[in-house]
Amino acid sequence: MPIFIKKRSKNVGLPPGTLIHIGEKKVEKTKITLIDYDEMHFQEREIEAVDESLRLKDQPTVTWVNIDGIHQVEILEKLGRYFGLHPLVVEDILNMGERPKIEDFGDYILIILKIPYYYDKISNEIETEQISLILGRNFVISFQERERGIFHPIREQIRNGKGRIRNLGADYLAYALVDSIVDAYFIVLEQLEESMESLEEKVLTNPIPETLQTIHNLKREMILLRKSVWPFREIISRLEKEESPLIQESTKIFLGDVYDHTIEVIETVETFRDMLSSMLDIYLTSVSNKMNEVMKVLTIIATIFIPLTFITGIYGMNFRHMPELGLRWGYPMVCIVMIGIGVLMLIYFRKKKWL
């Protein structure tokens, strides 16, 4: 079963704003990478400590700080202080059980999203991880539970100066990150579509109990996907309509594009849920049909032979006075009668379309 709520009992009773990491620890050590770029310059390095001059605030370049692994509370605390984040923001980033959401704090915007990944491809088990983004005036900070490579292409584009990313601001970078997160859903959905196609064939041709479990698993994954992608709609729609100076008009047309993709993800999940319900119906009916067939075979055999056996039973009785037993043609006649009964039965079954 995918985990629907993270253990919160840990921080129940603590005053709000107390920083504590809720969730599984997925990497050994927090890794911080910094990319700093504008149209002309590009700089990329790994940061050891947060105290080190992370960036110059008055610089006009765009700074992207990416954090992989967020269980080291003290690092995030320092980072929060360095960038002037509200304590609740850092608490939310640390809590893996947060619902996807967007919050505008004036100077910066907090975006919390979920990214799906295949935990186990054979059993179609999907899990989600949390990715938090902070979009400031000329910086973006991204927090991942673990490096999963989904931001590689963006990094590559910045490095090579491909596309328009180097010419545009931090808001375009944030858009690109959100876009790649939505794309991750498409990748998962494509694989799920393949699973469903093979499942559909199985359901119709050879429904076995394992098929049922696969349907059940897929249904559960759909519930999980739906729960994690549903809030995207509102988040991206709010980003699009935000009157914040952090987001430029020219970026909003791109956000409209991501919004369309999000709607498509949601609709596809809904479509898949509908189809899984339909498959469950088919499965149940197939099982019913099979049982019906079994019953027919039993009934045909039993209804033919039970009366015949009764006849043999009659002439197996040991009464002294049974005139038929002494007849010359008694045996062949009884055989003919029995064959006649059998044939009549078969005709009846044919008429009933049981054969």
316 sits near its own copies (criterion: CB under 8 A): yes
Q: Which of 36, 54, 79, 98 binds its own copies (CB under 8 A)?
A: 98
303 sits near its own copies (criterion: CB under 8 A): yes
Q: Which is nearer to its own copies, 15 or 60 (CB)?
A: 15
Nearest distance in Å: CB 197, its own copies: 5
Q: Which is nearer to its own copies, 52 or 256 (CB)?
A: 256
Nearest distance in Å: CB 69, its own copies: 23
245 sits near its own copies (criterion: CB under 8 A): no
Stretch that binds its own copies, among 50-58, 132-140, 185-193, 237-245 (CB under 8 A): 185-193
Q: Which is nearer to its own copies, 54 or 115 (CB)?
A: 115
β-pair partners for 43? 36
Nearest distance in Å: CB 122, its own copies: 16
Angle among Cα 172, 177, 181 to the nearest 5 degrees reads: 145
Nearest distance in Å: CB 30, its own copies: 25
Binding mask 4-43 for its own copies (x = CB under 8 A): xx-xxx--xxxxxxx-------------------------
Nearest distance in Å: CB 114, its own copies: 12
Q: Give the C-alpha distances (Å, rounded to integers) separating 104 from 86, 107, 133, 344.
A: 11, 8, 12, 83
Q: Give the C-alpha distances (Å, rounded to integers) separating 156 from 34, 87, 131, 148.
A: 14, 33, 20, 15
Which residues 6+ apart lie within 8 Å of 54 measured at CB?
Answer: 34, 47, 63, 65, 82
Nearest distance in Å: CB 274, its own copies: 5
Q: Give the C-alpha distances (Å, rounded to integers) separating 326 from 49, 147, 252, 331.
A: 112, 95, 104, 10
Q: Between residue 70 and residue 89, which ones bind its own copies under the rule CB under 8 A?
A: 86, 88
Which residues 6+ apart lie within 8 Å of 268 measured at CB?
Answer: 189
Output phi, psi for 130, to 5 deg.
-95, 135
CA–CA gap between residue 54 and residue 57 (Å, rounded): 9
Q: Which of 19, 73, 223, 346 binds its own copies (CB under 8 A)?
A: 223
Q: Between residue 261 and residue 300, which ones bind its own copies under the rule CB under 8 A?
A: 263-264, 267-268, 271-272, 274-275, 278, 280-292, 294-299
Closest to 264 measured CA to CA, from 334, 331, 186: 186
Angle at which helix 249-314 crosses helix 170-205, to 10 degrees, equals 10
Q: Give the C-alpha distances (Å, rounded to integers) separating 216 from 117, 172, 219.
A: 19, 40, 5
Q: Which is nearer to its own copies, 29 or 320 (CB)?
A: 320
Torsion angle of alpha carbons 219, 221, 223, 226, nearest 10°? -130
351 sits near its own copies (criterion: CB under 8 A): no
256 sits near its own copies (criterion: CB under 8 A): yes
Closest to 144 measured CA to CA, from 225, 64, 83, 43: 64
CA–CA gap between residue 37 and residue 8 (Å, rounded): 39
Q: Which of 159, 162, 241, 350 binds its own copies (CB under 8 A)?
A: 162
Q: Which is nearer to its own copies, 49 or 329 (CB)?
A: 329
Nearest distance in Å: CB 116, its own copies: 14
Q: Which of 157, 195, 237, 244 binds its own copies (CB under 8 A)?
A: 157
8 Å CB contact between 241 and 274 = no
Nearest distance in Å: CB 247, its own copies: 16
Binding mask 45-64 for its own copies (x = CB under 8 A): --------------------
What does the chain come to in residues? 355
